[in-house]
Chain A
Amino acid sequence: MRVLTVKGVRIDDTFAEAFGMRATALTITADTACWARQAAVTMTGFATSVIGCGCEAGIDCELTAQQTPDGRPGVRVLLFATSSAELQKQLQARVGQCVLTSPGSACYAGIEGDETLKLGNALRYFGDGWQVSKRFGGKHYWRIPVLDGEFVCEATTAVTKTAVGGGNLIIIGRTSEATRAAAETAAAAIAGVADVIAPFPGGIARSGSKVGSKYKGVMASTNDAYCPTLRGAVKTALDAEAGAVLEIVIDGLTSRAVATAMYAGIAAIVKLGPKRGATRISAGNYGGKLGPHHYHLRDLLP
């Protein structure tokens, strides 16, 4: 593999392989930014990977009072799943259990489109007959009486079929501290990119996986080629100086947004430099045969 070097950071001439996904976006508002964030954090909890959580979800950005439909502070949340049916199931369960229950919250569609998912149309039954349907300005809302007043929820939200899941960066450093510092700075840069989320804790995954396992029925297992403690025991992808590896997985509403996020992540890691951060950046793929979206690192250099 050809290796490129930018400001002392080695960048593998490889590519991240990503898949098409179904995605939706929501705007969650509350009386304060803190409570809007709380509802969004609760709703996007346990949503790191479709393998075990049903969906991947996260906070795209925080919204000012001027950017939300009801003039209160809010948060934009993105949800990704492998099918519209699963996305509907996750949306209903998560908004019903985590947003409806959060004090002072309201929930609106975060994207527009022809194909829709039920939002308030599914949750309205909580109103037990006292729910009120309202159409204002061409949009349909449900008012559901709750203990602190009313939960206002848009009837539907749109689903996009052009979303991409699985854009990634593999960050390799000499020590776990330096690698973590590089991953943190990349995750912070990616958090500033619109229409993307990094669904793992703090945007960072330490248990990068490969497809399959020696055990029957296990779909994914540890990516042994990148485990520093197995460097001598397996066919490793690491060199002698690698002490720790972290991965950032990126889901975006569009392929372009994923590429922008990967670029922002690489630029942040390169800016931090190899002394304080990562010495090498790579990306995960399956040989290019499984996922239709390929993000070559050489095209995303700062």
Chain B
Amino acid sequence: MRPLTLVLRQRPDQRLDLSPLVPHSLSGKSAAEIERIELQTTRSRVSVGDAFRLRNGDPTRICIEGSCDRLDRIGHAMTGGEVFVEGDVGTQAGRLLAGGSLTIAGNTGPWAASAMKGGLLEIRGATGAFLAAPLAGEMAGMRGGLVIVRGGAGERAGDRMRRGTIVVEGGAGAYAGSRMIAGSLVIGKKAGPLPGYLMKRGSIVLGVPCEAMSPTFVDCGYHQLLAMRLWAAILLPHSKKAAALLRRPLQRLAGDMAVLGKGEILIANPN
């Protein structure tokens, strides 16, 4: 059965909240019922039928074509199935994602994978600030699952993450892995200043040495850790670049000693 496809008619006049367009809420609904779902974020009403041309199909596989950066909260709290987005998306893509897979072929705005719980989020372009981070007032960010970003990430990628794995194949902005509670974060290219700022536990792997490291991380020498090799084997189907990075000798810096200090930043040897 072909996927349920939504083709954006034109760039919308307002930001749209696409959180209802997830497999578990669309299953069992007719095309007419789906078209009546409201997506507006202002007082002027916009339904699915107004914004998208709908080609009905299997609701466990949703394809959004012609997407743009005004489409927010795609794949919100998804529990299973697949969502594929062709184009850019707005804020909070894959927020509270709990299962299934969400693929964004373009770029995303901030708070992608925010407080994600499980499943797989792949962003083929770049992502904005606060990747996998909590929203204001929440205690923890990402707590499970796997995020792969083929491009770069903005500031504070992995902020307050608690569990799960994030791979950013490109670079990252300042404070990557800030306030991490635990979990694993890979930054393939250059990371901005102060990665791991106030991290308690968890692992941050940097493919390129950072020029502005916090002095509260202490050098533990170069090692080829078996755990990284094990992790590389598990990541290989998702990211060959991350797997290759994890197999290299890594300098272990323990920290952040300003807080608990049970975390680590592992930096690939530049030579």
Contact = CB atoms under 8 A, between A and B. Distances in A.
B229 A149 contact: no
A224 interface: no
Interface string A117-144: 0000000000000101111110001010
Contacts of A69: 230, 233
B265 interface: no
B95 interface: no
A64 B164 CA distance: 29
B94 to A, nearest CB: 19
Contacts of B164: 135
The interface size bin for chain B is 20 to 34
B262 interface: yes
B170 to A, nearest CB: 22
A141 B227 CA distance: 9
B160 interface: no
The interface size bin for chain A is 10 to 19
A149 B225 contact: yes
A152 interface: yes
| Consensus secondary structure, chain A interface | strand
B11 interface: no
Nearest to B118: A138
A71 B227 contact: no
Contacts of A112: none
Contacts of A141: 227, 230
A136 B225 contact: no
Given A132-B262, A133-B182, A150 B229 contact: no
Nearest to A134: B227
Interface of B: 144, 163-165, 182, 184, 201, 203, 223, 225-227, 229-231, 233-235, 262, 264
Given A70-B230, A134-B227, 12 more contacts: A70-B226, A70-B229, A71-B229, A106-B230, A132-B201, A132-B227, A132-B264, A133-B182, A134-B184, A136-B230, A136-B235, A149-B226
Closest 4 CB pairs of A and B: A137-B234, A70-B230, A136-B234, A143-B227
